[in-house]
Amino acid sequence: MVQGIIIPADNTAPLKTATLDSREDYQRAVEGWMEAVDIADLGVTMYVHEEGLVLGLPFNSRATFLWWYYVPAARQKAMLVGPALVAGLPDRNGDSTDIPRDTAGLLSQPGKWRVEARPKAEPDWTQIPGTYDDYFEALVWAMVTLERWHDAEDVRVAPVRPGIATMPIRASDAADLEHPPAV
């Protein structure tokens, strides 16, 4: 029995926990034949519908941005569609394992997140204005920052912890991603 999390394509739908006993459970979770996408840095494999693009399944922004964030080679080259199932990486025998507890918490527990960028040839990280109540929303903004701020060499999503100052941003503030403020 493997424990996993289903990321629905509808980004307003909550994540769902899943108990997987058989190949049919995986296929039911992704609504068809499955294709595996490994995210080694998180210790997970994401399963999606193998023919999802051909069938016109809806874009899964949460699964795609999670993949792009942790697998830079996939950025802007492919997208994930339909529901995605996240389970642990396969063991030595090729059998799926449970989603790691810390990864399950990262994806499903509430929290406050911020985006930081490291400018090219700079050792320090710059905090990008704004905080996010959802890890997936922070991932999206991390990828947007990397795409739009040409001086950014890398981005990261960091938890906002008590006692760490953050720079609030309001809808009326004009965010300049070409020249973000140094913090």
User: Are the beta carbons of 115 and 144 closer than 8 angstroms?
Assistant: no
Residue for token pair 């029995």: 1
User: Are the beta carbons of 20 and 96 closer than 8 angstroms?
Assistant: yes
Round the average pLDDT of the chain to a whole number and report it.
88
Using DSSP's 3-state secondary structure scheme, residue 25 falls into helix
pLDDT tens, residue by residue, 136-178:
999 999 999 999 999 999 999 999 976 544 443 333 334 444 4
User: Are the beta carbons of 75 and 142 closer than 8 angstroms?
Assistant: no
User: Are the beta carbons of 29 and 18 closer than 8 angstroms?
Assistant: yes
Reading the chain (183 residues) residue by residue, the pLDDT tens digits are 999 999 999 999 999 999 999 999 999 999 999 999 999 999 999 999 999 999 999 999 999 999 999 999 998 888 999 999 999 999 999 999 999 999 999 999 888 999 999 999 899 999 999 999 999 999 999 999 999 999 999 999 999 976 544 443 333 334 444 444 443
Neighbouring CB atoms inside 10 A of 158's CB total 14
Q: What is the pTM of this model?
A: 0.83
Residue for token pair 């699964």: 63
> In this structure, what is the dihedral angle of CA atoms 104, 169, 118, 181, given to the nearest 10 degrees?
-170
Please tell me the distance from the alpha carbon of residue 101 to that of residue 108, in angstroms, as a whole number: 10
